[in-house]
Amino acid sequence: MQFDGDILTIGLDMSMEEIREFEQFVRPRLEYIEMIEIEEGAALNSSALLSLLISLKRTRPEIRIPFLEQGSTTAGGYGTLHWICHD
């Protein structure tokens, strides 16, 4: 995880403990974050991270999360995952 100005860059391969730590880090700082980007080549390990990103987007709709906007990803054992996020 890297925090550079108002852009937070994360990996999708977080463990559940890392997801909890990420949530504890990001919630108090959410008003200062303009964008959450995903590291290149990262593979989604848990739907919990996807759920957290959607929750963050719903809490602060103006935050940009390009990963959510693309609407799909490929995950190792899961294949292609699709989702629809409404503001």
pLDDT in tens, 5-37: 789 999 988 999 999 999 999 999 999 999 999
Domain assignment present for 27 = yes
Percent of the chain with pLDDT over 70: 93
Judge whether 28 lies within some domain: yes
Query: For residue 56, how many C-alpha atoms fall within 13 Å in the half-sphere facing its CB?
Result: 28
Residue 18 covered by a domain: yes
More confident: 75 or 54 = 54
Q: Of residues 83 and 16, which shows the higher confidence score?
A: 16
For residue 53, is it within any domain? Answer: yes
Between residues 45 and 77, the one the model is more confident about: 45
Assigned domain for 60 exists = yes
83 or 8: which leads in pLDDT: 8
Look at residue 64 and tell me if it is in a domain. yes
**Would you place residue 60 in the very low, low, confident or very high pLDDT band (cuts 50, 70, 90)?**
very high
How many independent structural domains does the chain possess? 1
Does 87 reside within a domain?
A: no
Domain extent, residue 29, equals 2-82
pLDDT of residue 86: 62
C-beta separation of 30 from 3 below 8 A? no
- DSSP secondary structure, 6-33, as one string: TEEEE-S---HHHHHHHHHHHGGGGGG-
The confidence score (pLDDT) of residue 43 equals 77
